[in-house]
Amino acid sequence: MYRNALTDLKDWKNQKNRKPLILRGARQVGKTWLVRKFAEEHFDHLIEINFDDTPEQAKLFVKGEVDRCLQLLEMEHNQDIIPGKTLIFLDEIQAVPEILPYLRYFYEKRPDIFVIAAGSLLEFLLSEHDFSMPVGRIEYLHLGPMTIEEFLLALDQQRLVSFLSGINPDESIPESIHQKLIDFLKIFWIVGGMPAAVAAYRDFKSFQHSNREHGSILQTFEDDFSKYRKRIYPQRIRRVFHRIPALVGKKLKYVSLDPDERSKDLADTLDLLEMARVIYRVHHSAGNGVPLGAEMKAKDFKPLFLDTGLMTQSLGLNLSTLQVVKDLTLVNNGAVAEQFIGQHLLYQNLSYEKPELYYWNREKKSSSAEVDYLFSIDNKVIPVEVKAGASGSLKSLQVFIAEKRAPVALRFNSMTPSLTELTVKIHGALGHPYLFLSLPHYLVCQAKRLVKEVLG
């Protein structure tokens, strides 16, 4: 399989001022595979330590004594560490978080040594330790589930991916190709982007095999909750974890999670789930400008699950359910479409930037409005609508554009691409022109590029 992050790792390797790199992401998103593949393609040797299996090897790392550490690693693994030719991979580093501060010494004393660490629950662990991270002496790469285009590549659909990467904002897509991509989209919604599930579907062409992987992944998450935060009531974490898939796309109210629990306890539980990166809270932003987080409303958010495949399994959806629905945005009241677009937009920025995504709503008794997502390009705020079908209302987009004077609006639906120049029709903003870009869901990986082209 191919991951776009391989290019990011190659760029990291070629940096002159390179720092030790930490891969961050939820369990099972493919961090270990990614590093091994990278080492196979760009290094002669790999020294890999899995601290879950061999936590005692943490003793090989001596504070401030990098050369001594390298000597011990060479003896332990019976191979030379050659600058530029050997990659040191510290996997499951969350099992021994006390060595995280030591990474700074590789940057300060031996920047010629290539070091990558990976951890799934770093936020979990760091919240319980009093040491400080070596800020400015390490860097991060954030990894999410596979994208729809990576999924297509895994299924040997290179021609389709090449076609999508070169498409224009208003280019016509032949109906047969469009339908083929819609069919793959439906499969992705069931299989999702967790690499093990994708590999199972690719190898067996069976949803039964991918669903088995989903079950294993979900169980692994639950096991982790108890393993790393025993002081938190594990039953509460499990209940909230099971409820989130059904609440995607909705402004979250704690009573929807569990009417018998205190709001503070539920908020703490959501903190833990977000630390584990199995959920993400899409917060409201006023959307007046960038950065969007500057006008975030912390208490106003809607949840996003880790992956559409895990979500659809939790909801009991299958391919036969999707096949009978002509407009995909109607599946589960549009929540699956919103999950699909959300998990892609969340990781659309550069991999070293912390993933972030926002939405906008205006709650007035006589005129409420909600825009599913907001993101920024070149200091411009782009509103995104996912729920509306081919003939759905654009009222919320119009309200946002009228208030913020946005130059471009983006909609995802099941129709072929179109680009239209429209004028706001909301009272008080008549005559404000904007460009309306409508894209099929499967073009989400190209959305940022296409919006840039529209903006000129």
Digit-coded pLDDT (tens) for 60-117: 998 889 999 999 999 999 999 999 999 999 999 988 988 999 999 999 999 999 999 9
pLDDT score at 389:
44
By three-state DSSP, how is residue 372 classified? strand
pLDDT-based confidence at residue 120 (cuts at 50, 70, 90): confident
Q: How far apart are CA 175 and CA 156, in angstroms?
A: 21
In one-letter notation, the amino acid at residue 232 is: I
Mean pLDDT of 412-420: 93
Mean pLDDT of 375-383: 95
pLDDT of 230? 58
Residue 364 has pLDDT above 90, yes or no: no
Non-local (6+) Cβ contacts of 207 within 8 A are: 190, 191, 201, 318, 319
CA 276 to chain centre: 12
The predicted pLDDT at position 381 comes to 97
Q: pLDDT for 319-345, tens place per residue?
A: 766 665 555 656 676 899 999 999 999
In angstroms, rounded to a whole number, what is the distance separating the alpha carbons of residues 141 and 268? 26
* Residue 11 clears pLDDT 90, i.e. is over it: yes
* Mean pLDDT, range 251-261, rounded to an integer: 93
Q: Report the C-alpha gap between 110 and 270 in whole angstroms.
A: 40
Q: Is pLDDT larger for residue 24 or for residue 425?
A: 24
Instruction: Write the pLDDT tens digit of every residue in 123-132.
Output: 766 666 666 6
5-142: CATH, from 3.40.50.720, 3.40.50.2300, 3.40.50.300, 1.10.357.10? 3.40.50.300
Q: In Å, how far are 23, 131, 183, 309 from 206, measured between CA atoms?
A: 31, 47, 15, 14
Calpha distance 377→452 (Å, rounded): 7
| Strands (E) located in 243-327 | 279-285, 296-305
CA atoms within 13 A on the CB side of 265: 16
Strand partners, 99: none
In this prediction, residue 159 carries a pLDDT of 98
Residue 391 confidence (pLDDT) above 60 = no
Q: How confident is the model at residue 428 (pLDDT cuts 50, 70, 90)?
A: low
Report which of 142, 144, 369, 338 is spatially closest to residue 246, judged by C-alpha positions.
Answer: 338
> What per-residue confidence (pLDDT) applies to 431?
74
pLDDT at residue 366 in the model = 65
State mean pLDDT over 11-30. Answer: 95
Do 70 and 81 touch, CB atoms closer than 8 A? Answer: yes
Residue with tokens 């079950």: 215
Please report the pLDDT score of residue 125 as a whole number: 65
Q: Is the peptide bond before 291 cis (omega within 30 degrees of 0)?
A: yes
* pLDDT-derived band at 317, boundaries 50, 70, 90: confident
- CA atoms of 170 and 349, how far apart (whole Å): 23
Tokens, residue 185: 């989209």
Q: Tens digits of per-residue pLDDT, 175-218?
A: 999 999 999 999 999 999 999 999 999 999 999 999 999 999 99
> Over 60: is that where the pLDDT of 229 sits?
no
> What pLDDT score was predicted for residue 23?
96
- Burial class of residue 20, CB neighbours in 10 A (0-12, 13-18, 19+): buried
Give the pLDDT of residue 223.
Answer: 86
Q: Where in the chain is the domain with CATH 3.40.50.300?
A: 5-142
* Amino acid making up residue 411: R
Q: CA-CA distances (angstroms) from residue 188 to 152, 206, 322, 326, 417?
A: 9, 12, 11, 17, 20
